[in-house]
Amino acid sequence: MAPLTIVEKILSRKAGAAVRAGDFVTVPVDALMIHDSNASTTIDAFHSFDSARVMPGTDVIMVMDHFAPCPTEAAANMHIKMRRFASRHHIKLYEEGTGVGHQLMCEQGHVFPGEIAVGTDSHSCTYGALNALGTGIGSTEAAGVLARRKMWFRAPETIRVVWHGALPTGVTAKDVALKTVQEIGLRRAIYKVIEFGGELISRLPVEDRMTICNMGVEVGAKAAIMPPDDILLQWIKKRPGQHRVFEAAEADPGCSYSLVLEMDAGLLEPLAACPPMVNLVEPARRLKGKPVNQVVVGSCTNGRAGDFRAVAGVLAGRKVAPGVRLILVPASQAVLAELLADGTMKTLVQAGGQLIPPGCGPCAGYHGGLVGNKEVVVATTNRNFTGRMGSREAELYLASPLTAAAAALSGMITDPREVM
């Protein structure tokens, strides 16, 4: 058989025949995540099928992360609708405050290597860190998966991004993600997959790999994916929850890539994506002095324990600058428990941080820290589009937890190497 990319291999196994880029296939989906912002429309679409029975075989979860806790009556009513649906169809429901869907899919054991996992959220590409084909779908498509378990795919071309070298001091996986977006741009990967590799990736913990895959959709990609290795397999083994048989997928030598990019991590410095697009990336030092009103640490991109520990490392024994709001939103309850147990959260709250419940928080402007006119935000989140976090006159800068910590400490955008 001709050599296959990781994603061609995953689709081929599901289809039971060799699938190459450009082929259309209809295959079963292993896992599905439905979150509260798109659950109501998914439920409505599902009810418009004749057979209102969820087809068994897909690991389905419903998650209340976008409205957690509810900011409006309408949101509360949408949550009631979700609870009824989940209960009626015996679907695993993650309540308000449990965490962000993507984090729960990975952390609580709903995604396994070599699988196809979809979600009603564009950042479902995060699952690629676990060697799964993860991609975002709409509500009607999700209803189709509930009713039929299957989905059609056009097998995508793959862009291989090889990260060589090691991260210099002050540089994190988020900077790798931002640099990747800058290099590829907003459109070059539309309908393609980004397959990451190289010695940098192979040394990163799974949590950091999730940060990088999470931003794959910002270049238009259908998915971002990484090869399996011992670090991943050990991580999967230690995870709580269910276990199921899986078959990790590696690229065959000599498989066909539409583009190969070789990147050197050793040349990286702390970065920030400037408003209003994720590819407008600049070194943080070049933005030095930009006054900041709010700093947000969290999200499916950077809301894990290591991210908060990095912030605590900068802020320990120090105070957030006067006039700056530091919002802390752990990606899950499990992450929060870890941060409470090791004292990280105490350090951050003593420094002046305000803790909000695990979930999406203000990332997409749903609740918990929207901003007003002309305000400037540094966030560890994944999108900085006009109006995303509140006022359309606000400016959103995306950066690593370290760069966010430096902004919280100094009250302005700052290269974190100056304050570490």
Partner 1 sequence: MALKTLLQGKAHKFGDDITTDYIIAGKHRSKAENVLDLRPYVFNEIRPGFAGSVAQGDILVAGHNFGMGSSREHAATLIRACGIEAVLAKSFARIFYRNAINIGLPVIECDTDIISDGDLLTVDLRQGMVRNLTGGREISFTPIPASLRSILEAGGLVNYLKQIK
Residue ranges that bind partner 1, judged by CB under 8 A: 24, 37-38, 40-41, 45, 48-50, 66-67, 70-72, 74-75, 77-78, 81, 119-122, 124, 136-141, 143-144, 147-148, 152, 186-187, 190-191, 217, 220, 222, 277, 364-367, 370, 383, 385-388, 390, 392
User: Please, are residues 379 and 272 in contact by the beta-carbon 8 Å criterion?
Assistant: no
- Least distance (Å) from partner 1 to the CB of residue 71? 5
- Least distance (Å) from partner 1 to the CB of residue 118? 9
- Least distance (Å) from partner 1 to the CB of residue 268? 25
Choice between 114 and 119, CB closer to partner 1: 119
- Least distance (Å) from partner 1 to the CB of residue 302? 18
> CA 284, CA 172: separation in Å to the nearest integer?
13
Pairing of strands 158-164, 150-154: unpaired
- Least distance (Å) from partner 1 to the CB of residue 280? 11
Cα first-last separation, the chain: 52
Choice between 114 and 365, CB closer to partner 1: 365
| Residue of 387, 385, 355 whose CA lies nearest to 371 | 387
- Least distance (Å) from partner 1 to the CB of residue 393? 10
Q: What are the phi and psi torsion angles at 150 (to 5°)?
A: -110, 165
Instruction: Give the number of other CB atoms < 10 A from CB of residue 328.
Output: 22
| Residue of 379, 206, 373, 384 whose CA lies nearest to 305 | 206
Tokens coding 117:
């996992």
Tokens coding 318:
């120090």
Choice between 140 and 202, CB closer to partner 1: 140
Choice between 382 and 410, CB closer to partner 1: 382
Choice between 20 and 81, CB closer to partner 1: 81
User: Please, are residues 13 and 247 in contact by the beta-carbon 8 Å criterion?
Assistant: yes
User: Please, are residues 125 and 385 in contact by the beta-carbon 8 Å criterion?
Assistant: no
Choice between 113 and 365, CB closer to partner 1: 365
- Which residue type does 206 have? V
Choice between 116 and 284, CB closer to partner 1: 116
> CA 341, CA 336: separation in Å to the nearest integer?
9
- Least distance (Å) from partner 1 to the CB of residue 251? 22
Which run of H or of E encompasses 400?
A: none
Decide: helix, strand or coil at residue 397: strand
